[in-house]
Amino acid sequence: MSRVDFYHLQKQTLEEVLPKLLLKAYSTEKHIVVKIGTPERVDFINTELWTFSDDSFLPHGSKKDGFAAQQPIWLTDEDDNPNEAAFLFLVDGAETDAAKAAEYERVFNIFDGNSGEALAQARNLWKKFRDAGNEVYYWQQTEKGVWEQKA
């Protein structure tokens, strides 16, 4: 079973939050897959991760970059894990099933709390992962944008 963390965005955008969470995950020296809702958003996030900060660097790539097995962070819109990642990030409405999620130590589902559709999808994923026996955790941003675990 995997640990699944749900991150409810309210005060910041995905583009502001994702690099910070990826930096923290990358610091564990484990490989990461970021599954993104559409191929267009893969390209967008790929570019964003190169330019998000002058002080930080996140080595990553996508199909267009190649060398999938060597990429510490792999960006995709498919259910692939070519870099043998331990962590899976689901963003922009991307989903996976419980069996695929079980291949990872941790799954991070980041969703837009200002979208009714994204909230409904997150609730469905929560139920699916919990019913499959995964440990599920819910994180919400405070007024200052700090993550706080909720019961």
pLDDT of residue 74: 98
pLDDT of residue 1: 82
Count of CB atoms within 10 A of residue 60's CB? 20
Segments in the chain below pLDDT 50: none
| DSSP-derived secondary structure letter, 69 | G
pLDDT of residue 130: 96
- How many CA atoms lie within 13 Å of 12's alpha carbon, on the beta-carbon side? 18
Assigned CATH topology for domain 3-150 = Rossmann fold (3.40.50)
pLDDT of residue 146: 87
pLDDT tens column, 97-128? 999 999 999 999 999 999 999 999 999 999 99
Tokens 């291949």 belong to residue: 103
In single-letter form, the type of residue at position 104 comes to: Y
pLDDT of residue 144: 83
